[in-house]
Amino acid sequence: MRASRVRDGLVLLALAMYAAPFFWQAMTSLRPDTELLPLTHLWPSRLTLAHYDVVFRQSLMPRALVNSLGIALLSTLLAVGLGALAAYALARLPVRGRSVILLGMIAATAFPQIATVSPLYLLMRALGLRDTWLALILANGSFTLPLVIWLLAGFIREIPRALEEAAMVDGAGRLATLRWVVLPLVAPGMASAALLAFLFSWNEFLFAYSLTATEASRTVPVALALFPGVFEVPWGDIAAASLLASLPPILIVVGFQRYLVRGLLAGALRE
């Protein structure tokens, strides 16, 4: 009884250490500038939306939010679209060297970005794609593709073959079976893969930082890292901007926790 009390206390302490930074960041974003530095009392005397006003009117953030949303959605579409087709072939069709390809997929998920960023930079420059959405869509899409293929091949293998065979006995071709039987059944798996791919693209920093130059394609993490401070660092504005940058991850965790966890576990443990 006493041991479990101690344990509950420690767990609560750990959770407080997770809640506190979020809470502090939210509070900083609502705190008047005059009460930020130095910090003399925990609770502000009043709350203000001035920092959000600055972020929306005078920073790159609004444009970066549009860029990030577009780039993350399109690279997710690229990865899940191509990934689903490839995963079906690897899970169900006779492919020579299947295990080599699957092993290559795991090896590719381990690639450090720092090792491929220099060739990608030269490649995008040579193709005239620097500072465009397309450069980041291709870079993020290809970077998440191995994980998506790996996940979806596992999910497809879980579907009973009999269902597909029944459809084919009824005269449906392979592609019709894929479209009308396999894809609907694997939809939850596609959701898991898509959420992970979207999170990766939304959070990605190194490619976005090195392949972009102007607000035409700067994403949210880059805008946040480059947040301008003329004479001093505007901590309240940065706190407001980082809360905006956290919105999609927050929505995904709150709304799709189950799918996200499922994808995470499958990615690590291979169901």
Positions in 75-94 near another protein (CB under 8 A): 78, 82-83, 85-86, 88-90, 93-94
Instruction: For residue 126, state whether it binds another protein (rule: CB under 8 A).
Output: no
Of 197, 226, 234, nearest to 210 by C-alpha is 226
Shortest separation between residue 58's beta carbon and another protein, angstroms: 18
Does position 111 interact with another protein (CB under 8 A)? The reply is yes
Q: Is 166 one of the binding residues for another protein (CB under 8 A)? A: no
Alpha-helical regions (H) of the chain: 2-30, 50-58, 61-92, 98-109, 113-126, 133-158, 161-169, 174-177, 183-185, 187-203, 206-211, 220-225, 235-269
* 3 touches another protein by CB under 8 A: yes
Is the CB of residue 219 less than 8 Å from the CB of residue 71?
yes
Least distance to another protein from the beta carbon of 57, Å?
20
Residue 36 found at the interface with another protein (CB under 8 A) = yes
130 part of the interface to another protein, by CB under 8 A:
no
**Per rule CB under 8 A, count of chain residues that contact another protein:** 93
Give the residue with the Cβ less far from another protein, 126 or 162: 126
Does 152 bind another protein (CB under 8 A)? Our answer is: no
What string marks each residue from 188 to 227 as x (binds another protein by CB under 8 A) or -?
-----------x--xx-xx---x---------xxx-xx--
Q: Are 34 and 164 in contact (CB under 8 A)?
A: no
8 Å CB contact between 67 and 208: no
SS3 173: coil
Maximum alpha-carbon separation in the chain: 76
Which of 10, 166, 213, 216 is close enough to bind another protein by CB under 8 A? 10
| 146 is an interface residue for another protein by CB under 8 A | yes
171 makes contact with another protein (CB under 8 A): no
Say how far apart CA 197 and CA 147 lie, in whole Å.
8
Integer angstrom CA distances of residue 199 from 89, 160, 264 = 26, 30, 12
User: How near is the Cβ of 19 to another protein at its closest, in Å?
Assistant: 6
Least spacing, CB of residue 160 vs another protein, in Å: 19
Asked if 219 and 61 count as a contact pair (C-beta separation under 8 A), the reply is: no
